[in-house]
Structure 1
Amino acid sequence: MNSSETAPTTKKSLHRQLYVQVLFAIVLGAVVGMAFPGFATTPGVEALGAGFIKLIKMVIAPIIFCTVSTGIAHIQDARKVGRVGVKALVYFEVVSTFALAIGLIVGNVVQPGAGFGGHADAAAVAKFSHTHLSTVDFLLNIIPDSVVGAFARGDILQVLLFSILMGFAMMAMGERSASLRRLIDDIAHAVFGIIGIIMKAAPLGAFGAMAFTVGKYGPTVLGSLFGLI
């Protein structure tokens, strides 16, 4: 083989592309929801979408711990971590403010969720509201009763706090933490491998979610979904 020759590049055929499979699953789910609403609203079909979401939520806490703790530990200067943290906090606050403002305007003016046929459930929203917490209570709630409990509940703020403390602790240890950093890096690669496996089930999750939604609320919900998108 001549040095000028290059190995042929392999390109996935269109039907093997994940986004194509997801789009096809969404269309198929809408068709099944319209044609067989009784089947589409069965617990088994609903479980396809709900199960995929739970699989994604399952790996959020490990990803945050691995990436944040090793990311901080690999930085030699603690002041760099502080500068990056301040910039990230300012960026998060500014972008979140714009996002909330746009969401309020669009929600009140365009009302993209109209047409789903449901009604507001104050009890369902209450569990996501923390307006009853004082500032002190909110800050204390970030500190977990136990590290294992924070990971078990999937409490992101508590996991993030522990990850930051672990990162600074490994940074202070210097070379003594090298083996620990490598171990957490290896765990991070394994977790991202798990995500790769989970994403192969994305078409099933998209099919189940779309079929259940259309089967429960009717084909008119498609217009509302397109408006929301």
Structure 2
Amino acid sequence: MTSATIAAARRAPLYKSLFAQVVAGLVLGIALGVLAPEFAVGLKFFSDAFLKLISMIVAPIVFCVVVHGIAGAGDLKKVGRVGGKALIYFEVMTTVALAVGLILAYVIRPGVGMNINTASLDANALSAYAENAHKLQGGGFGAFILNIIPSTSFDAFARNDVLEVLFFAIVFGVSLALVGEPAKQVAELVDATSKVLFRAMGLIVRLAPLGVLGAVAYTVGKYGV
């Protein structure tokens, strides 16, 4: 059955491949941006909608995966060891990503030649990043920890603050593991919910070609090829 599945996948037409569809969306976006820039700018709706759909599903998935992982492990000592390794891995890879980003920024210099009039840009576009930067200043480590703890669990989900959702998920998962057998049905519900959410994510990802089309068409139509 495995061989038959692989063979069927190999026989699938190219146009059904998500990668091929994304590439087609990229090429079409460039073409529309060059040939019909005013129309292409209006396609930004597709990229905005796609990003909102992804943002909509991320926080619930993070919650369910973390809770199920901690509750399913059972032994909290094992969870602590795995969590420590994950934290070290995260810190190392984040440092590598920052270094690569800085090197590419200085070597490739993305954005040079786009001739953007900075006076026409939205001054509020970076407000969220500026707000997060201010959280790291003045209050020290204590203020940073307080900003991770949500006012309420519903507030963290409503504002789509993944860090706060992650903190609540850790607390909830540890509590499930400590309760044990009486909370088994809750753990099973979380697991089933995560499967549904991943299925929903699969459906959203199928719209990636439209998201790429809208983003590239808007960028080329507004700022040039």
1:115-154 equivalences in 2 (<5 Å): 115-118=113-116, 119=118, 124=126, 125-130=129-134, 131-134=136-139, 135-154=141-160
Alpha-carbon shift at residue 122 of structure 1 (Å): 7.6
User: Residue in 2 aligned with 1:224?
Assistant: none
Cα RMSD, aligned residues only: 1.9
User: Residue in 1 aligned with 2:41?
Assistant: 41
Q: TM-score, normalised by structure 1?
A: 0.86
1:42-191 equivalences in 2 (<5 Å): 42=42, 45-118=43-116, 119=118, 124=126, 125-130=129-134, 131-134=136-139, 135-191=141-197
Q: One-letter code of the match for 2:24?
A: F
Classify the secondary structure of the residue corresponding to 1:205.
helix
CA deviation vs aligned residue, 1:148-181 (integer Å, no higher than 9, x gap): 0100101111100110011111101111111111
CA deviation vs aligned residue, 1:75-104 (integer Å, no higher than 9, x gap): 121111111111111111112112212222
Alpha-carbon shift at residue 202 of structure 1 (Å): 1.2
Query: Is it true that 1:199 corresponds to 2:197 in the alignment?
Result: no
How many residues matched?
212
1 CA distance for matches of 2:29 and 2:104?
27
2 CA distance for matches of 1:114 and 1:127?
27
2 CA distance for matches of 1:10 and 1:111?
44
Q: 1:116 to 1:218 in 2, by over 3 A?
A: same
1 CA distance for matches of 2:145 and 2:83?
18
CA deviation vs aligned residue, 1:16-64 (integer Å, no higher than 9, x gap): 111111110110111011000011112xx11100110110010110010
2 CA distance for matches of 1:185 and 1:81?
17
Q: One-letter code of the match for 1:52?
A: F
Alpha-carbon shift at residue 115 of structure 1 (Å): 2.4
2 CA distance for matches of 1:200 and 1:105?
33
2 CA distance for matches of 1:59 and 1:139?
25
Runs of 5+ unmatched residues, structure 1: 1-5, 220-229
Runs of 5+ unmatched residues, structure 2: none
1 CA distance for matches of 2:214 and 2:108?
28
User: Residue in 2 aligned with 1:22?
Assistant: 22
Alpha-carbon shift at residue 133 of structure 1 (Å): 4.6
Relative to total residues, which structure has the larger helix share, 1 or 2? 2
Aligned-pair identity in percent equals 43
